[in-house]
Amino acid sequence: MPSFYHETQTVFGTHKNPVLQWIFTIDHKRIALLYMGVMFTLFFFAVSAAVTMRAELFFPGQQFLQPHTYNELFTFHGVTMIFLFIVPGIAAALGNFMLPLMIGARDLSFPRLNLLSWWLYILGVVTALSSLMTGNGFADTGWTFYAPYSIRTDAHVLSTLSAAFILGLSSILTGLNFVVTIHRLRAPGMDFFKMPLFVWGLYATAWIQVLATPVVGITLLLVILERTLGVGIFDPTKGGDPILYEHLFWIYSHPAVYLMILPGFGIISEVLPVFTRRTIFGYRSIAISSASIAGIGYLVWGHHMFTSGMSDLARIIFSLLTFLVAIPTGVKIFDWIATLYKGSIILATPMLWILGSIINFTVGGLTGLTLGAIGADIHLHDTYFVVAHFHYTILGGVVFMFIGGLHYWYPKITGKLYDEFRGRIAFGLMFVGFNLLWFPMFIAGFLGNPRRYFDYLPTFTPFHQVAGVGAVLVASGLLLVLYNFYRGLKEGKEAGANPWNGTTLEWHIPSPPPLENFSKIPYVDFDPYEYENGEPIVQFDENFRRVR
Protein backbone atom coordinates (compact mmCIF):
# COMPACT_ATOMS: atom_id res chain seq x y z
CA MET A 1 0.00 0.00 0.00
CA PRO A 2 1.47 3.43 -0.88
CA SER A 3 2.21 5.54 2.19
CA PHE A 4 1.45 9.20 2.73
CA TYR A 5 4.95 9.96 1.51
CA HIS A 6 3.93 8.90 -1.96
CA GLU A 7 0.65 10.67 -2.41
CA THR A 8 -0.96 13.70 -0.93
CA GLN A 9 -3.70 16.24 -1.32
CA THR A 10 -3.02 19.94 -1.35
CA VAL A 11 -5.23 22.98 -1.05
CA PHE A 12 -5.08 23.27 -4.83
CA GLY A 13 -5.84 19.66 -5.60
CA THR A 14 -2.77 17.83 -6.80
CA HIS A 15 0.72 18.95 -7.70
CA LYS A 16 3.60 17.23 -9.44
CA ASN A 17 6.29 19.33 -7.83
CA PRO A 18 7.36 17.69 -4.55
CA VAL A 19 8.15 20.98 -2.84
CA LEU A 20 4.70 22.35 -3.57
CA GLN A 21 3.24 19.00 -2.55
CA TRP A 22 4.78 19.51 0.84
CA ILE A 23 4.17 23.17 1.57
CA PHE A 24 0.56 23.13 0.40
CA THR A 25 -0.35 19.74 1.77
CA ILE A 26 -3.47 19.33 3.84
CA ASP A 27 -2.51 15.93 5.18
CA HIS A 28 -2.09 16.19 8.95
CA LYS A 29 0.90 13.85 8.86
CA ARG A 30 2.84 15.92 6.38
CA ILE A 31 1.97 19.11 8.24
CA ALA A 32 3.27 17.50 11.40
CA LEU A 33 6.55 16.73 9.67
CA LEU A 34 6.74 20.28 8.37
CA TYR A 35 6.41 21.54 11.93
CA MET A 36 9.02 19.11 13.11
CA GLY A 37 11.52 20.16 10.48
CA VAL A 38 11.21 23.86 11.22
CA MET A 39 11.23 23.29 14.95
CA PHE A 40 14.40 21.23 14.74
CA THR A 41 16.13 24.02 12.85
CA LEU A 42 15.04 26.75 15.24
CA PHE A 43 15.83 24.60 18.13
CA PHE A 44 19.36 24.35 16.85
CA PHE A 45 19.68 28.16 16.82
CA ALA A 46 18.29 28.46 20.31
CA VAL A 47 20.66 25.83 21.64
CA SER A 48 23.57 27.68 20.02
CA ALA A 49 22.49 30.83 21.82
CA ALA A 50 22.35 28.89 25.08
CA VAL A 51 25.81 27.44 24.62
CA THR A 52 27.17 30.89 23.82
CA MET A 53 25.67 32.22 27.05
CA ARG A 54 27.18 29.37 28.99
CA ALA A 55 30.58 30.12 27.47
CA GLU A 56 30.31 33.76 28.46
CA LEU A 57 29.33 32.74 31.98
CA PHE A 58 32.19 30.28 32.31
CA PHE A 59 34.34 32.92 34.01
CA PRO A 60 33.18 35.93 35.99
CA GLY A 61 33.66 39.29 34.34
CA GLN A 62 33.28 40.06 30.71
CA GLN A 63 34.64 37.51 28.24
CA PHE A 64 33.63 38.11 24.68
CA LEU A 65 30.08 39.47 24.77
CA GLN A 66 28.76 42.96 25.36
CA PRO A 67 26.15 43.08 28.14
CA HIS A 68 23.61 44.20 25.60
CA THR A 69 24.42 41.29 23.32
CA TYR A 70 24.03 38.90 26.21
CA ASN A 71 20.60 40.35 26.93
CA GLU A 72 19.62 39.86 23.32
CA LEU A 73 20.91 36.31 23.48
CA PHE A 74 18.82 35.17 26.41
CA THR A 75 15.81 36.89 24.96
CA PHE A 76 16.37 35.14 21.66
CA HIS A 77 16.94 31.87 23.49
CA GLY A 78 13.83 32.26 25.63
CA VAL A 79 11.55 33.53 22.88
CA THR A 80 12.64 30.85 20.44
CA MET A 81 12.47 28.02 22.93
CA ILE A 82 9.10 29.06 24.31
CA PHE A 83 7.13 30.61 21.48
CA LEU A 84 8.70 28.88 18.51
CA PHE A 85 9.63 25.51 19.92
CA ILE A 86 7.97 24.21 23.03
CA VAL A 87 4.55 25.88 22.85
CA PRO A 88 3.69 24.51 19.42
CA GLY A 89 5.99 21.67 20.46
CA ILE A 90 4.63 18.25 21.10
CA ALA A 91 1.09 19.17 20.14
CA ALA A 92 1.81 20.58 16.70
CA ALA A 93 4.43 17.99 15.80
CA LEU A 94 3.62 14.64 17.38
CA GLY A 95 0.03 15.54 18.27
CA ASN A 96 -0.79 16.56 14.75
CA PHE A 97 0.59 13.32 13.45
CA MET A 98 -0.86 10.99 16.04
CA LEU A 99 -4.19 12.46 17.08
CA PRO A 100 -6.25 11.27 14.08
CA LEU A 101 -4.44 7.93 14.07
CA MET A 102 -5.21 7.34 17.72
CA ILE A 103 -8.88 8.19 17.61
CA GLY A 104 -9.55 6.47 14.31
CA ALA A 105 -10.02 9.48 12.04
CA ARG A 106 -8.79 10.20 8.56
CA ASP A 107 -7.63 13.71 9.32
CA LEU A 108 -8.30 16.63 11.64
CA SER A 109 -11.68 18.33 11.38
CA PHE A 110 -10.26 21.27 9.42
CA PRO A 111 -7.27 20.20 7.32
CA ARG A 112 -7.00 23.54 5.56
CA LEU A 113 -7.07 25.41 8.83
CA ASN A 114 -4.29 23.12 9.95
CA LEU A 115 -2.20 24.20 6.99
CA LEU A 116 -3.07 27.82 7.73
CA SER A 117 -1.77 27.32 11.28
CA TRP A 118 1.51 26.11 9.87
CA TRP A 119 1.78 29.04 7.51
CA LEU A 120 1.04 31.46 10.32
CA TYR A 121 3.70 29.70 12.31
CA ILE A 122 6.18 30.24 9.49
CA LEU A 123 5.13 33.86 9.24
CA GLY A 124 5.74 34.19 12.96
CA VAL A 125 9.14 32.57 12.65
CA VAL A 126 10.14 34.87 9.82
CA THR A 127 8.90 37.93 11.67
CA ALA A 128 10.83 36.96 14.78
CA LEU A 129 14.03 36.19 12.93
CA SER A 130 13.76 39.29 10.77
CA SER A 131 14.54 41.44 13.78
CA LEU A 132 17.97 39.82 13.87
CA MET A 133 18.71 41.53 10.59
CA THR A 134 16.69 44.73 10.80
CA GLY A 135 16.22 47.58 13.23
CA ASN A 136 18.36 47.80 16.33
CA GLY A 137 18.87 44.08 16.77
CA PHE A 138 16.79 41.47 18.51
CA ALA A 139 14.58 42.45 21.40
CA ASP A 140 16.40 42.63 24.74
CA THR A 141 13.46 42.37 27.06
CA GLY A 142 13.55 38.73 28.11
CA TRP A 143 10.80 36.46 26.94
CA THR A 144 8.39 38.09 29.37
CA PHE A 145 8.34 41.51 27.63
CA TYR A 146 7.68 43.27 30.93
CA ALA A 147 6.38 46.79 30.59
CA PRO A 148 7.59 49.47 30.86
CA TYR A 149 10.98 48.18 29.73
CA SER A 150 9.47 46.78 26.56
CA ILE A 151 7.99 50.20 25.87
CA ARG A 152 11.20 52.09 26.50
CA THR A 153 13.98 50.01 24.98
CA ASP A 154 15.05 50.99 21.52
CA ALA A 155 15.77 47.41 20.49
CA HIS A 156 13.56 45.93 17.81
CA VAL A 157 10.82 44.73 20.13
CA LEU A 158 8.06 45.42 17.65
CA SER A 159 8.83 42.58 15.35
CA THR A 160 9.37 40.15 18.20
CA LEU A 161 6.05 41.14 19.72
CA SER A 162 4.26 40.86 16.41
CA ALA A 163 5.83 37.45 15.95
CA ALA A 164 4.57 36.29 19.32
CA PHE A 165 1.14 37.62 18.40
CA ILE A 166 1.05 35.76 15.09
CA LEU A 167 2.33 32.58 16.72
CA GLY A 168 -0.45 32.93 19.25
CA LEU A 169 -2.97 32.99 16.44
CA SER A 170 -1.42 29.89 14.94
CA SER A 171 -1.56 28.18 18.29
CA ILE A 172 -5.23 29.11 18.81
CA LEU A 173 -6.18 27.65 15.45
CA THR A 174 -4.36 24.41 16.20
CA GLY A 175 -6.11 24.18 19.55
CA LEU A 176 -9.49 24.85 17.99
CA ASN A 177 -8.87 22.19 15.40
CA PHE A 178 -7.93 19.65 18.05
CA VAL A 179 -10.92 20.40 20.24
CA VAL A 180 -13.35 19.97 17.39
CA THR A 181 -11.58 16.88 16.10
CA ILE A 182 -11.69 15.19 19.47
CA HIS A 183 -15.34 16.05 19.92
CA ARG A 184 -16.49 15.04 16.49
CA LEU A 185 -14.21 12.50 14.90
CA ARG A 186 -13.63 9.79 17.49
CA ALA A 187 -14.28 6.40 15.94
CA PRO A 188 -17.74 5.04 16.67
CA GLY A 189 -17.85 3.48 20.09
CA MET A 190 -14.88 5.39 21.48
CA ASP A 191 -16.24 7.50 24.31
CA PHE A 192 -14.07 9.97 26.18
CA PHE A 193 -12.88 7.34 28.62
CA LYS A 194 -11.76 5.02 25.88
CA MET A 195 -9.44 7.58 24.34
CA PRO A 196 -5.71 7.02 24.65
CA LEU A 197 -4.16 9.21 27.33
CA PHE A 198 -2.03 11.12 24.85
CA VAL A 199 -5.29 12.32 23.34
CA TRP A 200 -6.44 13.39 26.79
CA GLY A 201 -3.25 15.39 27.15
CA LEU A 202 -3.81 17.02 23.78
CA TYR A 203 -7.41 17.75 24.66
CA ALA A 204 -6.51 19.58 27.87
CA THR A 205 -3.75 21.38 26.01
CA ALA A 206 -6.07 22.44 23.24
CA TRP A 207 -8.45 24.09 25.67
CA ILE A 208 -5.59 26.01 27.22
CA GLN A 209 -4.52 27.15 23.78
CA VAL A 210 -8.02 28.30 22.97
CA LEU A 211 -8.79 30.03 26.24
CA ALA A 212 -5.47 31.48 27.35
CA THR A 213 -3.69 32.48 24.16
CA PRO A 214 -6.11 35.28 23.24
CA VAL A 215 -5.25 36.93 26.55
CA VAL A 216 -1.57 37.18 25.79
CA GLY A 217 -2.36 38.05 22.18
CA ILE A 218 -4.29 41.16 23.05
CA THR A 219 -1.80 42.06 25.78
CA LEU A 220 1.12 41.99 23.38
CA LEU A 221 -0.97 43.92 20.89
CA LEU A 222 -1.47 46.61 23.53
CA VAL A 223 2.28 46.84 24.02
CA ILE A 224 2.64 47.19 20.26
CA LEU A 225 0.10 50.01 20.25
CA GLU A 226 1.90 51.53 23.18
CA ARG A 227 5.14 51.65 21.25
CA THR A 228 3.66 52.84 17.99
CA LEU A 229 0.85 55.15 19.08
CA GLY A 230 1.58 55.86 22.72
CA VAL A 231 -1.71 54.55 24.06
CA GLY A 232 -0.49 54.39 27.64
CA ILE A 233 -2.34 51.42 29.13
CA PHE A 234 0.79 50.04 30.77
CA ASP A 235 2.94 53.16 30.80
CA PRO A 236 3.17 54.75 34.24
CA THR A 237 3.92 58.17 32.80
CA LYS A 238 0.45 58.07 31.34
CA GLY A 239 -1.27 56.53 34.30
CA GLY A 240 -0.94 52.94 33.13
CA ASP A 241 -0.02 50.22 35.56
CA PRO A 242 2.89 47.89 34.72
CA ILE A 243 1.64 45.35 37.24
CA LEU A 244 -1.50 44.86 35.19
CA TYR A 245 0.75 43.87 32.34
CA GLU A 246 2.36 41.25 34.55
CA HIS A 247 -1.05 39.89 35.49
CA LEU A 248 -2.18 39.61 31.91
CA PHE A 249 1.07 38.10 30.77
CA TRP A 250 1.03 35.38 33.40
CA ILE A 251 -2.67 34.63 33.01
CA TYR A 252 -1.52 33.19 29.74
CA SER A 253 1.99 32.13 30.49
CA HIS A 254 1.32 30.12 33.56
CA PRO A 255 -1.31 27.93 31.88
CA ALA A 256 1.16 27.84 29.01
CA VAL A 257 3.62 25.84 31.08
CA TYR A 258 0.95 23.17 31.47
CA LEU A 259 0.25 23.48 27.80
CA MET A 260 3.84 22.42 27.30
CA ILE A 261 3.85 19.57 29.76
CA LEU A 262 0.42 17.96 29.34
CA PRO A 263 1.10 16.37 25.95
CA GLY A 264 4.40 15.24 27.44
CA PHE A 265 2.54 13.55 30.28
CA GLY A 266 0.43 11.96 27.59
CA ILE A 267 3.52 10.47 25.97
CA ILE A 268 4.57 8.96 29.28
CA SER A 269 1.16 7.34 29.61
CA GLU A 270 1.51 5.86 26.13
CA VAL A 271 5.01 4.53 26.49
CA LEU A 272 4.73 3.05 29.97
CA PRO A 273 2.09 0.34 29.32
CA VAL A 274 3.81 -0.70 26.13
CA PHE A 275 7.19 -1.24 27.75
CA THR A 276 5.79 -2.82 30.89
CA ARG A 277 3.49 -5.03 28.84
CA ARG A 278 0.55 -4.35 31.10
CA THR A 279 -2.46 -2.10 31.53
CA ILE A 280 -1.86 1.37 32.84
CA PHE A 281 -2.73 1.85 36.48
CA GLY A 282 -5.52 4.37 37.15
CA TYR A 283 -6.55 5.27 33.63
CA ARG A 284 -9.39 7.45 34.77
CA SER A 285 -7.48 9.36 37.39
CA ILE A 286 -4.73 10.12 34.88
CA ALA A 287 -7.27 11.35 32.37
CA ILE A 288 -9.13 13.48 34.88
CA SER A 289 -5.95 14.86 36.39
CA SER A 290 -4.93 16.18 32.95
CA ALA A 291 -8.14 18.14 32.85
CA SER A 292 -7.86 19.34 36.42
CA ILE A 293 -4.25 20.47 35.97
CA ALA A 294 -5.43 22.52 33.02
CA GLY A 295 -8.29 23.91 35.10
CA ILE A 296 -6.41 24.73 38.30
CA GLY A 297 -3.56 26.03 36.19
CA TYR A 298 -5.69 29.06 35.38
CA LEU A 299 -5.86 30.17 38.98
CA VAL A 300 -2.25 30.35 40.05
CA TRP A 301 -0.58 32.87 37.76
CA GLY A 302 0.11 35.27 40.61
CA HIS A 303 2.93 33.07 41.90
CA HIS A 304 5.19 34.75 39.37
CA MET A 305 4.48 38.08 40.99
CA PHE A 306 5.13 37.51 44.67
CA THR A 307 7.51 40.45 44.82
CA SER A 308 5.79 42.69 42.30
CA GLY A 309 3.99 44.81 44.84
CA MET A 310 0.50 43.38 44.50
CA SER A 311 -1.45 43.16 47.74
CA ASP A 312 -0.19 40.79 50.41
CA LEU A 313 -3.51 39.00 50.61
CA ALA A 314 -3.48 38.27 46.89
CA ARG A 315 0.00 36.85 47.22
CA ILE A 316 -1.08 34.50 49.98
CA ILE A 317 -4.10 33.29 48.03
CA PHE A 318 -2.02 32.64 44.95
CA SER A 319 0.49 30.73 47.03
CA LEU A 320 -2.24 28.53 48.45
CA LEU A 321 -3.75 27.84 45.04
CA THR A 322 -0.35 27.01 43.62
CA PHE A 323 -0.11 23.98 45.87
CA LEU A 324 -3.37 22.60 44.56
CA VAL A 325 -1.79 21.93 41.16
CA ALA A 326 0.66 19.56 42.73
CA ILE A 327 -2.09 17.17 43.84
CA PRO A 328 -3.28 15.98 40.40
CA THR A 329 0.33 16.04 39.20
CA GLY A 330 1.33 13.81 42.07
CA VAL A 331 -1.55 11.46 41.30
CA LYS A 332 -0.21 11.06 37.81
CA ILE A 333 3.31 10.34 38.99
CA PHE A 334 2.12 7.74 41.50
CA ASP A 335 -0.08 6.11 38.89
CA TRP A 336 2.93 5.76 36.62
CA ILE A 337 5.08 4.27 39.33
CA ALA A 338 2.27 1.84 40.14
CA THR A 339 2.15 0.86 36.49
CA LEU A 340 5.69 -0.50 36.85
CA TYR A 341 4.50 -2.81 39.62
CA LYS A 342 4.20 -6.41 38.42
CA GLY A 343 4.81 -5.52 34.83
CA SER A 344 7.60 -6.81 32.64
CA ILE A 345 9.86 -3.85 32.18
CA ILE A 346 11.80 -3.46 28.94
CA LEU A 347 14.42 -0.72 29.08
CA ALA A 348 14.24 0.26 25.44
CA THR A 349 15.33 3.76 24.45
CA PRO A 350 11.85 5.40 24.59
CA MET A 351 11.37 3.89 28.04
CA LEU A 352 14.72 5.27 29.21
CA TRP A 353 13.81 8.77 28.10
CA ILE A 354 10.44 8.48 29.77
CA LEU A 355 11.83 7.22 33.06
CA GLY A 356 14.54 9.88 32.94
CA SER A 357 11.94 12.54 32.35
CA ILE A 358 9.94 11.38 35.36
CA ILE A 359 13.02 11.76 37.56
CA ASN A 360 13.87 15.18 36.17
CA PHE A 361 10.34 16.40 36.27
CA THR A 362 9.90 15.32 39.85
CA VAL A 363 12.89 17.47 40.78
CA GLY A 364 11.51 20.32 38.70
CA GLY A 365 8.02 20.02 40.11
CA LEU A 366 9.14 19.71 43.71
CA THR A 367 11.35 22.78 43.43
CA GLY A 368 8.28 24.48 42.00
CA LEU A 369 6.67 23.87 45.37
CA THR A 370 9.58 25.56 47.09
CA LEU A 371 8.99 28.53 44.82
CA GLY A 372 5.30 28.40 45.60
CA ALA A 373 6.04 28.64 49.34
CA ILE A 374 5.69 32.35 49.45
CA GLY A 375 8.22 33.25 52.12
CA ALA A 376 10.89 31.25 50.35
CA ASP A 377 9.99 32.66 46.95
CA ILE A 378 10.58 36.20 48.14
CA HIS A 379 14.20 35.17 48.43
CA LEU A 380 14.35 32.89 45.40
CA HIS A 381 12.37 34.92 42.89
CA ASP A 382 14.35 35.95 39.82
CA THR A 383 17.40 34.00 40.86
CA TYR A 384 18.96 31.02 39.15
CA PHE A 385 16.84 28.82 41.38
CA VAL A 386 13.89 29.71 39.19
CA VAL A 387 15.92 29.20 36.04
CA ALA A 388 16.97 25.76 37.25
CA HIS A 389 13.36 24.96 38.20
CA PHE A 390 12.01 25.61 34.78
CA HIS A 391 14.85 23.97 32.92
CA TYR A 392 14.20 20.89 35.02
CA THR A 393 10.51 20.96 34.12
CA ILE A 394 10.89 22.03 30.50
CA LEU A 395 14.20 20.64 29.36
CA GLY A 396 14.47 17.72 31.77
CA GLY A 397 10.74 17.11 31.60
CA VAL A 398 9.04 18.19 28.41
CA VAL A 399 12.01 17.91 26.07
CA PHE A 400 12.95 14.50 27.46
CA MET A 401 9.35 13.37 27.00
CA PHE A 402 9.38 14.81 23.50
CA ILE A 403 12.53 12.93 22.60
CA GLY A 404 11.09 9.79 24.18
CA GLY A 405 7.98 10.22 22.06
CA LEU A 406 10.07 10.76 18.96
CA HIS A 407 11.85 7.47 19.56
CA TYR A 408 8.60 5.71 20.35
CA TRP A 409 6.81 6.79 17.20
CA TYR A 410 9.88 6.91 14.98
CA PRO A 411 9.03 3.50 13.45
CA LYS A 412 5.46 4.59 12.81
CA ILE A 413 6.51 7.85 11.18
CA THR A 414 9.39 6.57 9.09
CA GLY A 415 8.75 2.85 8.81
CA LYS A 416 12.32 2.22 9.98
CA LEU A 417 14.05 1.32 13.24
CA TYR A 418 16.82 3.39 14.80
CA ASP A 419 19.86 1.88 16.45
CA GLU A 420 19.11 0.89 20.07
CA PHE A 421 22.68 1.11 21.31
CA ARG A 422 23.32 4.60 20.01
CA GLY A 423 19.97 5.66 21.41
CA ARG A 424 20.90 4.51 24.91
CA ILE A 425 24.32 6.20 24.83
CA ALA A 426 22.70 9.45 23.75
CA PHE A 427 20.26 9.20 26.62
CA GLY A 428 23.09 8.61 29.08
CA LEU A 429 24.99 11.66 27.85
CA MET A 430 21.96 13.89 28.03
CA PHE A 431 20.81 12.66 31.42
CA VAL A 432 24.17 13.10 33.10
CA GLY A 433 24.93 16.32 31.24
CA PHE A 434 21.56 17.78 32.05
CA ASN A 435 21.87 17.22 35.76
CA LEU A 436 25.40 18.61 35.79
CA LEU A 437 24.16 21.62 33.91
CA TRP A 438 21.21 22.57 36.04
CA PHE A 439 21.59 21.13 39.51
CA PRO A 440 24.38 23.54 40.53
CA MET A 441 22.14 26.39 39.49
CA PHE A 442 19.72 25.58 42.32
CA ILE A 443 22.53 26.22 44.75
CA ALA A 444 23.75 29.34 42.98
CA GLY A 445 20.19 30.65 43.04
CA PHE A 446 19.67 29.90 46.68
CA LEU A 447 22.90 31.73 47.48
CA GLY A 448 21.56 34.76 45.67
CA ASN A 449 22.71 34.77 42.06
CA PRO A 450 20.04 36.72 40.16
CA ARG A 451 19.04 35.62 36.69
CA ARG A 452 19.53 37.58 33.49
CA TYR A 453 22.92 38.62 34.82
CA PHE A 454 25.54 39.00 32.19
CA ASP A 455 28.12 38.95 34.96
CA TYR A 456 28.07 37.50 38.45
CA LEU A 457 29.88 37.90 41.73
CA PRO A 458 33.01 35.72 41.81
CA THR A 459 31.48 33.58 44.57
CA PHE A 460 29.40 31.78 41.99
CA THR A 461 32.20 30.77 39.65
CA PRO A 462 32.38 27.04 40.46
CA PHE A 463 28.66 26.53 39.88
CA HIS A 464 28.78 28.15 36.49
CA GLN A 465 31.81 26.13 35.50
CA VAL A 466 30.21 22.79 36.33
CA ALA A 467 27.18 23.96 34.40
CA GLY A 468 29.37 24.82 31.45
CA VAL A 469 30.72 21.27 31.34
CA GLY A 470 27.19 19.90 31.59
CA ALA A 471 26.09 22.05 28.68
CA VAL A 472 28.74 20.49 26.46
CA LEU A 473 27.58 16.98 27.38
CA VAL A 474 23.97 17.89 26.74
CA ALA A 475 24.74 19.37 23.36
CA SER A 476 26.75 16.31 22.31
CA GLY A 477 24.00 13.98 23.49
CA LEU A 478 21.58 15.96 21.40
CA LEU A 479 23.78 15.65 18.34
CA LEU A 480 23.99 11.91 18.85
CA VAL A 481 20.18 11.68 18.96
CA LEU A 482 19.96 13.51 15.68
CA TYR A 483 22.69 11.40 14.11
CA ASN A 484 20.93 8.25 15.23
CA PHE A 485 17.69 9.36 13.62
CA TYR A 486 19.52 10.24 10.45
CA ARG A 487 21.26 6.86 10.23
CA GLY A 488 17.99 5.11 10.99
CA LEU A 489 16.45 6.69 7.90
CA LYS A 490 19.40 5.56 5.77
CA GLU A 491 20.07 2.07 7.02
CA GLY A 492 17.44 1.20 9.60
CA LYS A 493 15.61 -2.12 9.47
CA GLU A 494 12.00 -2.19 8.31
CA ALA A 495 9.82 -1.67 11.34
CA GLY A 496 6.56 -3.33 10.37
CA ALA A 497 3.18 -2.16 11.61
CA ASN A 498 3.70 -2.81 15.31
CA PRO A 499 7.32 -3.22 16.41
CA TRP A 500 6.65 -2.53 20.12
CA ASN A 501 3.50 -4.60 20.59
CA GLY A 502 1.44 -1.46 21.14
CA THR A 503 -2.30 -1.54 21.64
CA THR A 504 -3.58 1.82 20.47
CA LEU A 505 -5.09 2.27 17.03
CA GLU A 506 -2.04 3.75 15.31
CA TRP A 507 -0.24 0.42 15.69
CA HIS A 508 -2.94 -1.36 13.72
CA ILE A 509 -2.20 0.43 10.47
CA PRO A 510 0.91 0.15 8.29
CA SER A 511 4.08 2.14 8.99
CA PRO A 512 4.31 4.69 7.52
CA PRO A 513 0.54 5.16 7.38
CA PRO A 514 -1.31 5.49 4.09
CA LEU A 515 -2.81 8.76 2.91
CA GLU A 516 -6.07 8.79 4.82
CA ASN A 517 -4.88 6.47 7.57
CA PHE A 518 -7.77 4.02 7.74
CA SER A 519 -9.27 2.27 4.77
CA LYS A 520 -12.18 1.39 7.03
CA ILE A 521 -12.93 3.05 10.34
CA PRO A 522 -12.90 0.54 13.18
CA TYR A 523 -15.53 0.25 15.87
CA VAL A 524 -13.85 0.91 19.20
CA ASP A 525 -15.57 -0.62 22.18
CA PHE A 526 -12.45 -1.46 24.19
CA ASP A 527 -10.13 0.35 26.57
CA PRO A 528 -6.87 1.62 25.11
CA TYR A 529 -4.26 -0.41 27.00
CA GLU A 530 -5.47 -4.00 27.21
CA TYR A 531 -2.83 -6.69 27.64
CA GLU A 532 -3.11 -10.33 28.58
CA ASN A 533 0.02 -12.18 29.57
CA GLY A 534 2.04 -9.43 27.99
CA GLU A 535 0.28 -9.58 24.60
CA PRO A 536 -2.20 -7.05 23.22
CA ILE A 537 -5.74 -8.37 23.40
CA VAL A 538 -7.51 -6.59 20.58
CA GLN A 539 -6.84 -7.61 17.02
CA PHE A 540 -8.40 -6.53 13.72
CA ASP A 541 -8.67 -8.19 10.36
CA GLU A 542 -7.74 -6.30 7.19
CA ASN A 543 -11.20 -4.71 7.05
CA PHE A 544 -10.87 -3.36 10.56
CA ARG A 545 -13.40 -5.78 11.93
CA ARG A 546 -12.38 -6.79 15.40
CA VAL A 547 -11.49 -10.48 15.52
CA ARG A 548 -10.38 -10.73 19.14
Partner 1 sequence: MEHEMAYDMQGKSYPVTDFKDDYSGEKFGFWVFLLTEAMMFGVLFLLFSVYFYRHSEIFAISSGELNIWLGGINTVILLLSTYTMGLASLMMRQNKIRTSAILVGVTALMAVVFLGIKGVEWSIDIHHGIYPGSGILDVMDKGKILFFGLYFVMTGLHGLHVIVGIALMCWVLLLIRFGGIRPEHTIVMKNVTLYWDFVHLIWIVLFPLFYMIGV
Partner 2 sequence: MLAGFNQNASTFAADVDRAFWISVGISAMMFILVVGLMLFFIVRYHSSRVKPEEIRNIKHYAPLEIAWTVIPTILLFIIFYYGYSAFRELRTMPKDAFTVEVLGKRWSWTFIYPNGKKSTELYVPAGENISLRLHAPVDDVLHSFYVPAFRVKEDVVPGRENHLWFKSDVVGRYDVECAEYCGTGHSRMLSKVEVMEKTAFDAWYASDKLSPHDKGAPKEEGEVLYQTLGCSACHSLDGSIIVGPSFKGIFGEKVRVLTSGKLRELVVDEAYIRDSVRTPAKDVVEGFGEGIMPNLSDQIDKQQMEAIIEFIKKQSRPQNKAVSQEAVKSVEAPALSTQPKQQGPLDGAALFNTKGCVGCHSLDGSKRIGPSLKGIYQSRQKVVTEGKLREIIADESYLRNSIQNPNADVVEGFKSGLMPPFGKMLSPEEIDALVKYLRSIK
Binding site for partner 1 (CB under 8 A): 105-111, 172, 176-177, 179-181, 183-185, 187-189, 210-215, 217-219, 222, 225, 229-233, 238-241, 244, 248, 520-523, 525, 544-547
Q: Dmax of the chain from CA atoms? A: 72
State the burial class of residue 158 (Cβ atoms within 10 Å of its Cβ: 0-12, 13-18, 19+). middle
- Smallest gap from Cβ 364 to partner 1, in A, equals 29
Q: Is residue 143 within the footprint of ligand HEA (CB under 6 A)?
A: yes
Q: Which is nearer to partner 2, 309 or 496 (CB)?
A: 309
Of these, 197, 220, 354, 406, which contacts ligand HEA (CB under 6 A)? Answer: 406
Q: Is residue 227 within the footprint of partner 2 (CB under 8 A)?
A: no
Site for partner 2 in 410-449 (CB under 8 A): 446-448
Q: Which is nearer to ligand HEA, 185 or 321 (CB)?
A: 321
390 binds, among Cu ion, partner 2, ligand HEA, none (CB under 5 to 8 A by kind): ligand HEA
Parallel, antiparallel, or unpaired: how do β-strands 531-532 and 535-536 relate?
Answer: antiparallel
Q: At what angle do helices 384-391 and 349-372 cross, to 10 degrees?
A: 150
Q: Which is nearer to Cu ion, 227 or 304 (CB)?
A: 304
Q: Is residue 251 within the footprint of ligand HEA (CB under 6 A)?
A: no
Of these, 54, 186, 247, 254, which contacts Cu ion (CB under 5 A)? Answer: 254
Closest CA to 380 of 391, 369, 394: 369
Closest CA to 285 of 276, 277, 296, 293: 293
Q: Is residue 129 within the footprint of ligand HEA (CB under 6 A)?
A: no
Alpha carbons 321 and 331: distance in angstroms, whole number = 17
Enclosing H/E stretch for 535: strand 535-536
Alpha carbons 406 and 411: distance in angstroms, whole number = 9
State the burial class of residue 188 (Cβ atoms within 10 Å of its Cβ: 0-12, 13-18, 19+). exposed
Site for partner 2 in 373-412 (CB under 8 A): 373-383
Site for partner 2 in 516-535 (CB under 8 A): 530-535
Of these, 205, 276, 357, 435, which contacts partner 2 (CB under 8 A)? Answer: 276
Site for ligand HEA in 452-471 (CB under 6 A): 452-453, 471
Q: Which is nearer to partner 1, 318 or 518 (CB)?
A: 518
The residue count for the chain: 548
Q: At what angle do helices 28-56 and 96-103 cross, to 10 degrees?
A: 140
Choose the stretch contacting partner 2; rule: CB under 8 A; options: 27-35, 326-334, 397-405, 417-425. Answer: 326-334
Choose the stretch contacting Cu ion; rule: CB under 5 A; options: 83-91, 237-245, 246-254, 440-448. Answer: 246-254
In degrees rounded to 5, what are phi and psi of residue 343? -100, -165
Closest CA to 336 of 283, 396, 397: 283
- Smallest gap from Cβ 250 to Cu ion, in A, equals 7
Count residues near ligand HEA (CB under 6 A).
67
Q: Which residue is nearest to Cu ion (CB)?
A: 254
Choose the stretch contacting ligand HEA; rule: CB under 6 A; options: 12-20, 177-185, 188-196, 384-392. Answer: 384-392
Closest CA to 262 of 321, 326, 329: 329
